[in-house]
Structure formats: C-alpha cells, structure tokens
Amino acid sequence: MHEAHRVLGPLVMIPSGPCAAGPAVRTVSAIRWWGTMFPNVFSSDNPFWQGMSRIADLIWLNVLFLVASLPLVTAGAALTALYDTAWRLHAERGAGVAPMFFRSFRSNFAKSTALWAVVAPLGLSILAWWLLLPPGQVLVLRVFLTLLYLLVFPYFFHLQARFENTVPNTLRNAVLIPIARIPHAAGVAVVTAIFIALIAATAIHLPATLPPLLLGGFGFVAYAQIPLLNESIKPWSEPEDSRAS
C-alpha cells in the first residue's frame, strides 16, 4: 500500500486548475470561453465588422477617386464612378470596390468628361466672383448662384451613372429634378455644404488633421448622399435599373 501510495501521490497532487495550464492552453481556453459567451463576436455577420468593412470600402473608394481625379480633365469620369460605386455599395450590388469603380470610369468616360467641361467652368466662375468682386457687390446674385450650384452639382454625375441619356438631356435633368424635388435636393446640398465647411475649418484651425479627413471624405459624402439622391429620382426610376448589373 505504501508503494502504491508513492506512485499515485504525485498524480493526485498535479494541479488541474487554469493556473497550471501553459500560455497556449490558456489562450485556447480564453478563445473558447469568448466563443461560448459571445458566439457572433468574430462572425462576418456581426454589425460591428460589417460597419468596419464598409468604412474600409469607402476609404478605398475615396483613394481611387482622388487618384483618378489627379489629371483634372478626368475628374468628371471620376465623379461619375464615385457616385456609381457608392450607389452600388448602398444597394449591395456588384463585388469589389476597384472593379466597380473602374468599370464605371471607363464606360462613362466620354459623356462624363463632356459634363465636366460644362460644370467645372461654371463652378470656377462662381468661385472667381467670390474671390475677385468686392464683398457687397451683387451679393444676392452670388449667394443664389452658389446655392443653386451646390443644389444641382451631384445630380450631373449621379444621373450619368444611373441613366443612359445624351449630355444635353443629363444637364437639363440635373437642373430640373432637384428643383422639382427640392426637399431631398436640399438635404443633398446640406451634406455637401457641411463637408466643404469642415474642410475649410480644418485647413484653417487644424491643418495637421486635414489629410486623414480627405482620406475618406469624398467617399463618405457620396455614400451619405445616395439615399437622398435615390429619393429624388424615384419617380423616374424603374424598380430594376437597366444599368444596375
């Protein structure tokens, strides 16, 4: 009995609690415990990870937009691709931000560049009025034209992304639709104005934080505008857009 006790003694005295386990065993046990207590914490269906994935998509979309806009002459096609990709992300259509962006960029390049050749000089003219004219001169007209420009600007490229049409018709519709659907168009303009004001304030007061803001800015703005833009054009949209594939 004495010999048997000497053999069994060390086995009985081996600690069996969590403190006796090695680092690897403790790590595995902790993961299993988290998996038991929070079964969806690492799941791709978890809203947190879905939100983080969407943020990453929009940052990537913004980078593509900035790179595609660098020659300036291609900014129109880049804007159309920006709104097209943001719409597809919002509607859960397509796969891959870069393939969607460059497909739209190529297919809309000619018409978007023609739109940009009209829209960009108008915007530069309004900006020149603010910079060159005395503060009180034709102030009411300047404010009116600025607000109208902010109101209609996104529609030029969103309509180009959503509908097959001639450039003159797209220009006309981009002015008429916001006026006909003024509450939604005003919401779109407010999003644009907030972003412009935020960039200006950041550049003046916190210039060091401007690059991170620009890193995701345009992608987030376009994505935030999509629900309002969709409501604006809803009376003229088919249930399944012909350019959705």
Q: What is the pLDDT of residue 52?
A: 87
Judged against a pLDDT cut of 80, whether residue 243 lies above it is answered with: no
Grade residue 217 by pLDDT with cuts at 50, 70 and 90.
confident
Q: What is the pLDDT of residue 124?
A: 96
**Whether pTM exceeds 0.85:** no
Alpha helices in 18-138 (DSSP H): 23-37, 47-69, 75-90, 97-107, 109-132
Judged against a pLDDT cut of 50, whether residue 25 lies above it is answered with: yes
Q: What is the pLDDT of residue 29?
A: 64
Q: What is the pLDDT of residue 8?
A: 43
Q: What is the pLDDT of residue 93?
A: 84
Judged against a pLDDT cut of 80, whether residue 99 lies above it is answered with: yes
Q: What is the pLDDT of residue 241?
A: 56
Mean pLDDT of the 146-158 span: 95
Which residues are CB-contacts of 229 (< 8 A; sequence separation ≥ 6)? 83, 87, 154, 155, 158, 184, 188
- Bigger pLDDT: 46 or 60? 60
Judged against a pLDDT cut of 50, whether residue 148 lies above it is answered with: yes
Q: What is the pLDDT of residue 42?
A: 54
Distance (Å, whole) CA 181 – CA 127: 26
